[in-house]
Amino acid sequence: MPYGSTDYAECPRCGKRALGQSEIEQLFGYRTMESGKIIPQSHCRECRSEEVRNSSR
């Protein structure tokens, strides 16, 4: 996942890719860093959801 890029995201877990802000918003979402910089989430929404489901078992 190339930090600093707001136009590209790739999930390190499943390899899913998103190009452009609308696709990133849909598949990954964004996070705001302490510095105020907004970057794409590193893992896709699907992988993050799966982690939550697995940790609650």
Q: Coil, strand, or helix at residue 38?
A: strand
**What residues have CB less than 8 Å from 48, skipping those under 6 apart?**
41
Domain that holds residue 24: 1-43
Which residue in the block uniquely carries the two structure tokens 């190009």? 19
pLDDT category, 50, cuts 50, 70, 90? Answer: confident
Give domain status of residue 18, yes or no: yes
Give domain status of residue 55, yes or no: no
pLDDT recorded at residue 51: 77
With beta carbons less than 8 A apart as the criterion, state whether 8 and 25 touch: no
pLDDT category, 52, cuts 50, 70, 90? Answer: confident
pLDDT recorded at residue 57: 63
With beta carbons less than 8 A apart as the criterion, state whether 30 and 42 touch: no
The rounded mean pLDDT for the chain is 89
The helix (H) or strand (E) run that includes residue 56 is none
Give domain status of residue 34, yes or no: yes
For residues 16-37, give the mean pLDDT: 95
